[in-house]
Amino acid sequence: MSVDFICDYYKSVESLPVLPGVEPGYLRRLLQSAPPTCSAPFNVTMKELREAVVPGMTHWASPNFFAFFPATNSAAGIAGELIASAMNTVGFTWQASPAATEMEVLALDWLAQLLRLPTSFVNRTGAAGRGTGGGVILGTTSEAMLVTLVAARDAALRRCGSNGIAGITRLTVYAADQTHSTFFKMCHLAGFDPANIRSIPTGEENDYALDPTRLLEAIQADVDAGLVPTYICCTVGTTSSNAVDPVGAVADVATRFNAWVHIDAAYAGSACICPEFRHHIDGVERVDSISMSPHKWLMTCLDCTCLWVRDTHRLTNSLETTPEYLKNGASESGTVTDLKDMQVGIGRRFRGLKLWMVMRTYGAAKLQEHIRSDVAMARMFEDSVRADDRFEVVVPRNFALVCFRIRPHGGMTEEDAEGANRELMERLNKTGKAYLAHTAVGGKFVLRFAVGSSTQEERHVRSAWELIQKTTTEMKGEM
Amino acid sequence: MSVDFICDYYKSVESLPVLPGVEPGYLRRLLQSAPPTCSAPFNVTMKELREAVVPGMTHWASPNFFAFFPATNSAAGIAGELIASAMNTVGFTWQASPAATEMEVLALDWLAQLLRLPTSFVNRTGAAGRGTGGGVILGTTSEAMLVTLVAARDAALRRCGSNGIAGITRLTVYAADQTHSTFFKMCHLAGFDPANIRSIPTGEENDYALDPTRLLEAIQADVDAGLVPTYICCTVGTTSSNAVDPVGAVADVATRFNAWVHIDAAYAGSACICPEFRHHIDGVERVDSISMSPHKWLMTCLDCTCLWVRDTHRLTNSLETTPEYLKNGASESGTVTDLKDMQVGIGRRFRGLKLWMVMRTYGAAKLQEHIRSDVAMARMFEDSVRADDRFEVVVPRNFALVCFRIRPHGGMTEEDAEGANRELMERLNKTGKAYLAHTAVGGKFVLRFAVGSSTQEERHVRSAWELIQKTTTEMKGEM
């Protein structure tokens, strides 16, 4: 019954309003507010799902979804999640499910090969014990940032001879001002002092990427003030505008100060399986960790964030726990990986299965084709924007995200332009035929057109562009 | 094809060795070590899954699984996870998926009613804006601890007038020595000083529960030393032996010092939907937060940890982020809940659906029956243990976990008894017909018999007991 539901859903999702028109509190008016005492036939549950839940969903699977980044999906990914849910295994230690641990390690190793990551990041476990490199699958990029921040924090505290946590007030962290806000949240969670979290300004001259010279200046000033540079977050494909921080140059700066460098390639990392995009992570062999999320652009449903680190011991030193009830011969032998010691909590789902099933079923060539097809559609959209002189592309397109806006023209001020773009976005989103989000780049209100939802084809991109043009013309007519 | 796999799996899981006999590295010897270039028919993927993955799984769904705590599951739970995976929505803000946010809030509200939580914990969002109480679904109890620890930490820093994070060296946290090791890990993540994390000793006299007098003494000593009591973790149903910390008495102590009290009822919280077990959380109206995991004992597949807090503003003050690309009218109106601000990261799966589907389909009565049936089976096992004078029940059974061991008898020393119990566990686990884990209680090596895997019936518990008796007899014969 739920499989039928999904088939129907995918058949109809194109015609559903991508952004629903419901008001806050709508669901509580449709469903009973108290839990039922008695059981109900499953079709009652499904009826309520269809009638009350679906109409209030924002349809991320809709071909008319262009907001945020797409959450791409696939039959193999869904099947993997389904099977993992049914087996419902909790692979905190190797013994608690050998296949779950080994499959996760294998899937990470395969993906590392597709990304041509250096072998120093690969999990090598053998008769000689664990190597230093390794990976783990987490739920979100935030978790990848948090665990590496904590590992870097603890290493820096040891380095500066801190008695317990006291030295934390001397530790500093760095990222471009375009870095995802969750990075600053994770620094906060890990206890870094708000006064020591540096947001390095970016500008148009670097396409809003981290400027290594500014980074070096900031770090040097901190060192001169007796502070301890601890961690630098380097984003490949920022959320706002897909800026790419220069990995190699950042690593060069970091090396001089013994600071941890993490690459957050949550979205654009998937593109790096294509040789023509791989250069964006050149220099990765000199960083400490890298994470990317196949749940964003590699056809693997939520949640799946892959983290690789060059030295797993630095993670496990900070994250290992061994209560009596989790002790077992395999762990004590030192020949296995216990993935609980590389993540935030202890319990964990079998996320490696879906990632492996996606790679096993589609193969490298089809995954690359999927990336290239999205990029080609984005390029087509970009060309359309450039061909209409009412609009402008605000930053160069690197992947499948186009940042554009109605440019100030015909006597419009910057303020008028912001109003017009805001109005355009709201009108588009109200039609239910397209959903776009916005951002601010260099102080400008900009529309983000993110290509790549699982069901999207060229015709949807074309229709969206026609809708944008038509709506803009209507707005002008009304003025 | 994957649905057929699951049906076959559940039909055959009883006959599969519950703990597989594979050696570390086995999977890499069975599957190709490099990702394929070309796509493969889906049945190739499924064949490798059946032939290489299944034989290396520890079968948590097996009726012969008695280790750790069961990860209970159900058709409605799996269907909910499947549908959520297929829709693949990312409900970080209300607007990003109104139904996902409202369903999560509704499911939490239903479960709060089943648990008879005070209304102060319930999410009230209306025309007048957000109330103070509310909940969120997270992946693990660890996350629930982490976000509340950070909120309590930040509140305590403000209270003691700390300049930034500097005051953290004065903050102290408390838990019984039986508290799950992840609590101490989360304190570490949140930056609490190792020297300020108090593990309060427990003993047989309190059935290994937190002693409020000892807690008070520890806190008072810290206050006298100029430290700031910040957070107390109170476990209802410890992992090791299902001890229940006295919630009301702990809350009484905490109130005197303005410390945050969190109830971790990860496992036993599910039992509190039955009136006869509800007393274990009496006093909950005076604590700050409570979490429990329906993925443990409420037929909802991984992952689903429910957290309720009395004052969501204390969470959101610490966890809120509002980058430009997530701003929207609904959030700005203050009439909606943006669940990203009550959790570790930003991205999130639609976990509320499966929890709602479980309650909607089975209803309160059936869920209670499920708990009672497991408890009855555990009682039956306990009675069997008590009736055989070679064995002893080590701590009183509170729920569906029985902690027992071969007692020292016939001239056995304590050391001999430990050896015999270890040997018994290893022999049992090697048969593939049962999987038990162990713990240490009061310095004794103890076997944990956790009843309740989804497919378990009385006959499996009986068989396991017969196997335990037979194996013990064999061991004696060989001596």
Which of A33, A109, A181 lies nearest to residue B321, judging by beta carbons?
A: A181
Domain B80-359 belongs in CATH node 3.40.50.300: no
Burial class of residue A127, CB neighbours in 10 A (0-12, 13-18, 19+): exposed
User: What is the pLDDT averaged over residues B133-157?
Assistant: 97
Mutate: best of B23, B85, B110, B178, partner A, most A CBs <10 A = B85
What's the rounded Cα separation, in Å, for the pair B266 and B233? Answer: 12
**pLDDT at residue B335 in the model:** 84
Lookup: tokens for A72 = 């791409």
Give the number of C-alpha atoms closer than 13 A to the C-alpha of residue A274, restricted to the C-beta side: 18
What's the rounded Cα separation, in Å, for the pair B359 and B27? Answer: 38
DSSP H helical ranges for A388-444: 414-431
**pLDDT at residue B1 in the model:** 84
**pLDDT at residue B474 in the model:** 96
For Cα atoms A471, A473, A477, give the angle at the middle one, nearest 5 degrees: 115
Any idea where the domains of chain B sit in the sequence?
Answer: 80-359
Which of A6, A20, A346 lies nearest to residue B182, judging by beta carbons?
A: A346
Centre a 10 Å sphere on the Cβ of residue A348 and count the other Cβ atoms it contains.
28
What's the rounded Cα separation, in Å, for the pair B121 and B298? Answer: 20
Print the SS3 string covering B102-118: HHHHHHHHHHHHHCCCC
Residues of B in contact with A341 (CB under 8 A): none
**pLDDT at residue A233 in the model:** 98
Q: What are phi and psi of B426, to 5 degrees?
A: -65, -40
Contacts 24+ apart (CB under 8 A), B213-221: B215/B174, B215/B250, B215/B253, B216/B253, B218/B174, B219/B172, B219/B174, B219/B253, B219/B257, B219/B259
Which residues lie closer than 8 Å to B248 by C-beta, 6 or more apart? B282, B283, B286
Asked whether the predicted pLDDT for residue A127 surpasses 60, the reply is no
Span A416-473, pLDDT tens digits = 999 999 999 999 999 999 999 999 999 999 999 999 999 999 999 999 999 999 999 9
What's the rounded Cα separation, in Å, for the pair B420 and B445? Answer: 10
Please pick, among A9, A26, A174, A325, the residue that the annotation labels catalytic. Answer: A325
**pLDDT at residue B325 in the model:** 84
CA closest to B162 among chain A residues: A193
What's the rounded Cα separation, in Å, for the pair A432 and B356? Answer: 27
Helix axes A2-12, B75-87, angle to 10 degrees: 20
For Cα atoms A323, A326, A331, give the angle at the middle one, nearest 5 degrees: 110
Mutate: best of B83, B177, B422, B435, partner A, most A CBs <10 A = B83
**pLDDT at residue B324 in the model:** 87
What's the rounded Cα separation, in Å, for the pair A199 and A304? Answer: 27
Mutate: best of A89, A92, A102, partner B, most B CBs <10 A = A102
Under the banding of pLDDT at 50, 70 and 90, the label for residue A218 is very high
Provide the shortest C-alpha distance from residue B207 to chain A (in Å): 18
Residue with tokens 């300049």: B163
What's the rounded Cα separation, in Å, for the pair A374 and A359? Answer: 18
Residue with tokens 């497991």: B374
- DSSP states of B226-270 as a string? T-EEEEEEEEBS-TTT--B--HHHHHHHHHTTT-EEEEE-TTGGG
Could A39 and B142 be called an inter-chain contact, meaning their C-beta atoms sit closer than 8 Å? no
Q: Closest Cα to residue A294, out of A252, A265, A257?
A: A265
Strands B260-264 and B228-235, sheet pairing: parallel
Lookup: tokens for A307 = 């983290």
Residues of B in contact with A27 (CB under 8 A): 98-99, 102-103, 106
Residues of A in contact with B166 (CB under 8 A): 169, 193
Span A8-45, pLDDT tens digits = 999 999 999 999 999 999 999 999 999 999 999 999 99
Lookup: tokens for B337 = 């809940």
Which residues lie closer than 8 Å to B456 by C-beta, 6 or more apart? B63, B65, B70, B374, B377
**pLDDT at residue A128 in the model:** 52
Q: Closest Cα to residue B394, out of B438, B426, B436, B425?
A: B438
Which of A164, A184, A344 lies nearest to residue B142, judging by beta carbons?
A: A344
Contact assessment for residue A273 and residue A299, using Cβ atoms and an 8 Å cutoff:
no
Establish whether A208 is a catalytic residue.
no
User: What is the pLDDT averaged over residues A293-309?
Assistant: 97
Q: Closest Cα to residue A68, out of B373, B348, B182?
A: B348
Q: What are phi and psi of A290, to 5 degrees?
A: -145, 140
What's the rounded Cα separation, in Å, for the pair A39 and B184? Answer: 40
Under the banding of pLDDT at 50, 70 and 90, the label for residue B123 is confident
Q: Closest Cα to residue A380, out of A465, A304, A280?
A: A465
What's the rounded Cα separation, in Å, for the pair B182 and A92? Answer: 12
Please pick, among B267, B325, B362, B435, the residue that the annotation labels catalytic. Answer: B325
CA closest to B319 among chain A residues: A185
User: Number of helices (H) and strands (E), helices first, in chain A?
Assistant: 16, 13
Asked whether the predicted pLDDT for residue A336 surpasses 70, the reply is yes
Residues of A in contact with B189 (CB under 8 A): 146, 150, 189-190, 344
- DSSP states of B338-388 as a string? -GGGGSSSS----THHHHHHHHHHHHHHHHHHHHHHHHHHHHHHHHHHHHS
Work out the mean pLDDT of chain A and round it to a whole number. Answer: 95
User: What is the pLDDT averaged over residues B406-410?
Assistant: 93
Span B196-209, pLDDT tens digits = 999 999 999 999 99
B245: preceding bond cis by omega (within 30 degrees):
no
Asked whether the predicted pLDDT for residue B386 surpasses 60, the reply is yes
**pLDDT at residue B225 in the model:** 98
Lookup: tokens for A147 = 């665990």
ipTM confidence score: 0.97
Residue with tokens 């103890």: B446
Provide the shortest C-alpha distance from residue A314 to chain B (in Å): 14
Cα torsion through A339, A342, A345, A348, rounded to 10: -30
Under the banding of pLDDT at 50, 70 and 90, the label for residue B95 is very high
**pLDDT at residue A34 in the model:** 94
Work out the mean pLDDT of chain B and round it to a whole number. Answer: 95
pLDDT > 70: percent of chain B:
98
Provide the shortest C-alpha distance from residue A128 to chain B (in Å): 12
**pLDDT at residue B478 in the model:** 87
Under the banding of pLDDT at 50, 70 and 90, the label for residue B336 is confident
**pLDDT at residue B322 in the model:** 87
Print the SS3 string covering A109-172: HHHHHHCCCCHHHCCCEECCEECCCEEEEECCHHHHHHHHHHHHHHHHHHHCCCCCCHHHHHEE
CA closest to B91 among chain A residues: A58
> Could you tell me where the beta strands, DSSP code E, fall in A343-409?
391-393, 401-406
**pLDDT at residue A97 in the model:** 95
CA closest to A87 among chain B residues: B61
Measured in whole angstroms, the distance separating CA A289 from the mean position of its chain's CA atoms is 15
**pLDDT at residue A303 in the model:** 96
Under DSSP, the state recorded for A453 is -
What's the rounded Cα separation, in Å, for the pair B70 and B18? Answer: 13
Indicate if the alpha-carbon torsion angle A446, A452, A455, A456 is positive or negative.
Answer: positive
Under the banding of pLDDT at 50, 70 and 90, the label for residue A123 is confident
**pLDDT at residue A130 in the model:** 53
Provide the shortest C-alpha distance from residue B156 to chain A (in Å): 13
Structural element, H or E, at residue B9: helix B2-12
Asked whether the predicted pLDDT for residue A212 surpasses 70, the reply is yes
User: Number of helices (H) and strands (E), helices first, in chain B?
Assistant: 16, 13
**pLDDT at residue B27 in the model:** 96
Lookup: tokens for A299 = 């056809």
Under the banding of pLDDT at 50, 70 and 90, the label for residue B290 is very high
Asked whether the predicted pLDDT for residue A402 surpasses 90, the reply is yes
**pLDDT at residue B125 in the model:** 56
Strand order in the sheet with A401-406: A391-393, A401-406, A444-450, A437-441
Strands A125-126 and A129-130, sheet pairing: antiparallel
